[in-house]
Amino acid sequence: MKRLDKFISELAPSLPLCGERLSLVKDALLTFKEFENVKKINILELPIVKVNAETNELVDGSYLGETKIITAHTMKLREGQCVFNEEIDLYDISLTPTIYDPNVLDEYRTKIGGWRLPRVVSQPKFEYVDGIMVNWNQKEMIETIKQSGVEDESEINRIIKERLIKKFTETLEGDVNVDTRQAVMVRITPRSYKQD
């Protein structure tokens, strides 16, 4: 099953996804696990709506009874978990910057190759940091070079250095190639989600 963050990023290069564009995909949202309990999605244009104080139903400007003003709450969705009620009021959907799980890097640390990491923001200075990881097995490289007929140690070291610089350059010039994701952010009314 496709992840919600991938669906949104492919669908909407410019975010947030709201209004008429959001209305066009509201049925598709119901197919994702994060929306599995939802039966109805109301797409709202403004960050403030009026709700009938007695019935908790949305009302338009012509309603004369007692109403209450509802403002938007921003919530980060957890992948695969639905926290919504059967009917939700949705203002917009957006994505966080690209992130990766640092624990996943342990998997890459044991592989031979080069990986370009996504840009992250360092703490506490809030500076952008780019990362590259290049792994090699020196023993295997030496054996491969010797099999090609090179025996001189200084020549072997020069070839290893040349290959590593080439791999580093290829990785630097390439795209992010580790598993990444983006968290999905929604702006909704408080009546839309299960509250503790």
Q: Would you state the pLDDT for residue 129? A: 83
The DSSP secondary-structure symbol of 191 reads: G
Count of other CB atoms within 10 angstroms of residue 190: 12
Rounded mean pLDDT of the chain?
83
Confidence check: pLDDT of 158 > 90: yes
When pLDDT is cut at 50, 70 and 90, the band that residue 13 belongs to is low
**Strand-strand pairing, 17-18 and 73-77:** unpaired
Amino acid 81: pLDDT: 83
| Residue 11 pLDDT exceeds 90 | no
Strands 87-95 and 40-43: parallel
Banded model confidence at residue 70, pLDDT cuts 50, 70, 90:
low
| Total-model pTM | 0.62
pLDDT of 56 over the 80 cut: no
